[in-house]
Amino acid sequence: MKRILVGIKRVVDYNVRIRIKPDGSGVVTEGVKMSVNPFDEIALEEALRIKERGAAEEVIVATVGPADCQPQLRTCLAMGADRALHVQTDTPLEPLAIARVLRALTEREQPFLVLLGKQAIDDDHGQTGQMLAALWERPQATFASKVELSEGKARVTREIDTGLETIEVDLPAVVTVDLRLNEPRYVKLPDIMKAKKKPFETLTLEALGVAPRAQLKTVRYAPPAQRQKGVRVNDAAELIGALKQKGLL
Amino acid sequence: MSQNILIVAEHDGRTLSVATAKCVACAATIPDAHITVAVCAADAAAVAAQAAAVSGVHRVVTVEHPMHEHPLAAAIAPQIAALAGPYSHVLGPSSTFGKDLMPRIAALLETVQVSDIMAVESATRFRRPIYAGNAIITVEVLDGAKVVGTVRTASFQAVGTGAQAPIEAASPVAPPTHTRFVSVSAARSDRPDLQSAGTVVSGGRALGSAESFQMLYRLADKLHAAVGASRAAVDAGYAPNELQVGQTGKIIAPQLYIAIGISGAIQHLTGIKDARTIVAINKDPEAPIFEVADIGLVGDLFEIVPQLEQLIG
Ligand SMILES: Cc1cc2nc3c(=O)[nH]c(=O)nc-3n(C[C@H](O)[C@H](O)[C@H](O)COP(=O)(O)OP(=O)(O)OC[C@H]3O[C@@H](n4cnc5c(N)ncnc54)[C@H](O)[C@@H]3O)c2cc1C
């Protein structure tokens, strides 16, 4: 079966203004809206479109995390994924460990394509896809804004600092997606009902043979430096005057 | 104990990127740093000579292979992993080049990566932004693990030149052939570069069309400024993607940033936090951009921009 594996992460919704706990021990997540990482939604949308074009037969979504991640996986099933894999653990894992879990899942599911978001908007690591590709000894195409599949190959347009780069990779491959790849569909109510019947499998790290080892410890959380309060000017001439005063013109 | 640091050079085959000099600046803040720059290229001579002159660089290693004509992470990562043995740190810039490459190296070395290093507290302690820069964390790398890192270039001033580091050639390992370069649409312009310009004029959704966006280019020309854009402006096709500023675009630190018709979403603000002076022009007095602006002007950009153009002359 021609399968696409999509990795997703549950994160604080991008509209939430995050707050640091007063004791600097973390970010307040209690009572905060949680969502599927926006980049991962784009990855899933792309997988669904590929399947709808007939170039794939099954779309699997997977996440690694605590029991709380279930609603986000259900959302993905409602969007159209065929089945969900929940690798359950209460230990927060580093990107390398997540990549090892995904590597084990590629062994199990034999996808021809793995689609992931280019970064998660909470930790902003931007590492997992590239790490998976390295462990899997397969190509990577990061920051994708266009994915074209042909027999055994993918042609991917990437958003890079100087413009757009196109590379060709042999499949299977890992593609991490950027914002302009597509616009994810909205979930409709009947789909949420239908999604309840879709296969949902819970796995453990042990069953996948992954024994994570922490290599990084966060010792402090702090708010960013605040900027000085600014001034208002009334028109273009005053603006020019203010810039001249600061020696900027 | 001296820290042996390997920096992966970013270049276009001819010129060393200024991002590399910023990585050197970051590495030099690690106590007792001994800095080596690795240049992977089809023909490394020109870039290696430039790297050898960067102040603070002790040694340059070149790895030449035809596959390195274009910077493919899949091809470069095994070269760096092969060199990495004696190094305590392997660093690259937090540009799309480094973001693509460094995690692949970290995984080959089975070690941790610290992304977007904005400050060094010790050889194992670093500060980095999370949540689009809305929180800054200090992380400690444990158990003597090798540190792979990307350097948030907006946080460091490029070091100068004047060194005369020795250049050595290393023999390449055979890179994989599963990844091939096809093309690049290099939008080379004679305009100042967004990432290094002193002044940036940036436009948002309010510009309304690619034609109106031209207005900003004219203003930028008068100010010798680079042009930037919000994601909304890029998504709408008013400006090309390489102009996007923010969490998913470029993180910049100009002396002067002029945000025109940009609301100031957190994902945009994360890209301009290090700008020295922020000017906001927006018709909505409640727009969040005014919370970070040093100078705010409430009004219609379609009136104000032409006036500015005239006044600057
Ligand atoms: C995961 C993720 C990543 C993102 N990454 C980025 C990123 O890297 N960079 C980025 O910019 N955004 C990013 N965004 C999008 C961001 O959330 C905002 O949607 C975007 O920045 C809005 O762009 P804007 O300010 O141009 O548009 P709007 O928010 O629509 O603002 C337009 C502004 O123009 C003003 N205006 C309208 N007409 C006029 C006029 N005639 N004169 C003066 N002012 C006028 C309005 O008052 C308004 O404030 C990201 C979003 C997500 C979810």
Nearest CA in chain B to A160: B96
What is d(CA B21, CA B51) in angstroms, rounded to the nearest whole number?
8
CB atoms within 10 A of CB B18: 14
Predicted local distance difference test score (pLDDT) of residue B4: 97
pLDDT band per the 50, 70, 90 thresholds, residue B261: very high
Q: What is the CA radius of gyration of chain B?
A: 21
Sole residue written with tokens 């890029």 = B234
Residues of A in contact with B290 (CB under 8 A): 230
For residue A216, give the nearest of B107, B142, B235 by CB distance: B142
Confirm if A147 and B124 have CB atoms less than 8 A apart.
no
Q: Which of B266, B73, B114, B201 is nearest to A124 (CA)?
A: B114
Confirm if A160 and A171 have CB atoms less than 8 A apart.
no
pLDDT band per the 50, 70, 90 thresholds, residue B272: very high
Amino acid residing at B55: S
Nearest CA in chain A to B178: A170
User: How many angstroms is it from A188 CA to the middle of ligand 1?
Assistant: 27
- In this structure, the residue with its CA closest to atom 37 of ligand 1 is B206
Query: Which residue among B207, B247, B266, B291 has the greatest number of ligand 1 atoms within 8 angstroms of its CB, and so is best to mutate?
Result: B247
Quick one: what percent of chain B has pLDDT higher than 70? Answer: 99
Domains and CATH numbers, chain A: 3-216 (3.40.50.620)
- Each residue of A165-198: pLDDT tens digit? 999 999 999 999 999 999 999 999 899 999 999 9
Cis peptide before B86 (omega within 30 of 0): no
Give A17→chain B minimum CA distance, Å. Answer: 8
Residue A102, SS3 per DSSP? helix
Can you tell me which atom of ligand 1 is nearest the CA of B244? Answer: 9
Residue A93, SS3 per DSSP? coil
Domains and CATH numbers, chain B: 3-170 (3.40.50.620), 199-312 (3.40.50.1220)
Q: DSSP string covering B157-212, please?
A: PPP-B-----EEEEPPP---SSEEEEEEEE---SSPPTTT-SEEEEE-GGG-SHHH
Q: Which of B111, B109, B45 is nearest to B82 (CA)?
A: B109
For residue B107, give the nearest of A99, A165, A224 by CB distance: A99
> What value does the mean pLDDT take over residues A102-131?
98
Residue B295: Cβ-neighbour burial (10 angstroms; 0-12, 13-18, 19+) = buried
Query: Does ligand 1 come within 6 angstroms of the Cβ of B302?
Result: yes
Query: Does ligand 1 come within 6 angstroms of the Cβ of B207?
Result: no
Predicted local distance difference test score (pLDDT) of residue A131: 98
H or E segment at B257? strand B256-260
For residue B256, give the nearest of A143, A170, A248 by CB distance: A248
Interface contact A124-B130, CB threshold 8 A: yes
Confirm if A46 and A181 have CB atoms less than 8 A apart.
yes
What is d(CA A122, CA B137) in angstroms, rounded to the nearest whole number?
12
Nearest CA in chain A to B130: A123
- Each residue of A124-180: pLDDT tens digit? 999 999 999 999 999 999 999 999 999 999 999 999 999 999 999 999 999 999 999
User: How many angstroms is it from B306 CA to the middle of ligand 1?
Assistant: 22
Contacting residues for B280 by C-beta, under 8 A, at least 6 apart: B259, B262, B264, B287, B289, B290, B292, B293, B295, B296, B297
Contacting residues for B55 by C-beta, under 8 A, at least 6 apart: B24, B159, B160, B161, B162, B163
End-to-end CA distance of chain B: 58
- Each residue of B168-197: pLDDT tens digit? 999 999 999 999 999 998 766 778 999 999
Does the structure show a pLDDT above 70 at A205?
A: yes
Interface contact B115-A235, CB threshold 8 A: no
Residue A242, SS3 per DSSP? helix
Does the structure show a pLDDT above 90 at B313?
A: no
User: How many angstroms is it from B69 CA to the middle of ligand 1?
Assistant: 37
Quick one: what percent of chain A has pLDDT higher than 70? Answer: 100
pLDDT band per the 50, 70, 90 thresholds, residue B142: very high
Q: What is the 3-state secondary structure (H, E, C) of B281-300?
A: EECCCCCCHHHHCCEEEECC
Residue B82: Cβ-neighbour burial (10 angstroms; 0-12, 13-18, 19+) = middle
What is d(CA B71, CA B11) in angstroms, rounded to the nearest whole number?
8
User: How many angstroms is it from B242 CA to the middle of ligand 1?
Assistant: 16
User: How many angstroms is it from B236 CA to the middle of ligand 1?
Assistant: 11
Interface contact A161-B95, CB threshold 8 A: yes
> What value does the mean pLDDT take over residues B214-220?
96
Query: Which residue among B282, B300, B302 has the greatest number of ligand 1 atoms within 8 angstroms of its CB, and so is best to mutate?
Result: B282
Of the residues B10, B20, B99, B302, the best mutation for testing chain A's interface (the one with the most A CB atoms within 10 Å of its CB) is B99
Q: Which of B229, B243, B263 is nearest to A160 (CA)?
A: B243
Considering chain A, what is the average pLDDT of its residues? 96
> What value does the mean pLDDT take over residues B23-46?
98
Two tokens, residue B132: 């689009």
Query: Does ligand 1 come within 6 angstroms of the Cβ of B254?
Result: no
Q: Where are the alpha helices (DSSP H) in chain B?
A: 18-28, 45-53, 73-83, 96-108, 210-223, 231-235, 266-269, 289-292, 301-312
pTM over cut 0.95: yes
Q: What is the CA radius of gyration of chain A?
A: 21
Residue A197, SS3 per DSSP? coil
Sole residue written with tokens 């203010």 = A242
Residues of A in contact with B311 (CB under 8 A): 236-237, 240
Does the structure show a pLDDT above 90 at A229?
A: no
Predicted local distance difference test score (pLDDT) of residue B21: 98
The separation between CA B219 and the C-alpha centre of its own chain, rounded to angstroms, equals 25
Contacting residues for B64 by C-beta, under 8 A, at least 6 apart: B40, B41, B42, B43, B44, B169, B172
Residue A85, SS3 per DSSP? strand
Does the structure show a pLDDT above 90 at A226?
A: no
For residue A159, give the nearest of B129, B241, B295 by CB distance: B241
Q: Which of A78, A74, A76 is nearest to A4 (CA)?
A: A76
Two tokens, residue A95: 């990107």
Q: Which of B243, B254, B272, B260 is nearest to B299 (CA)?
A: B260
pLDDT band per the 50, 70, 90 thresholds, residue A26: very high
Predicted local distance difference test score (pLDDT) of residue B53: 98
H or E segment at A208? helix A205-208
Residues forming beta bridges with residue B297, ordered by sequence position: A233, B281
Predicted local distance difference test score (pLDDT) of residue B1: 67
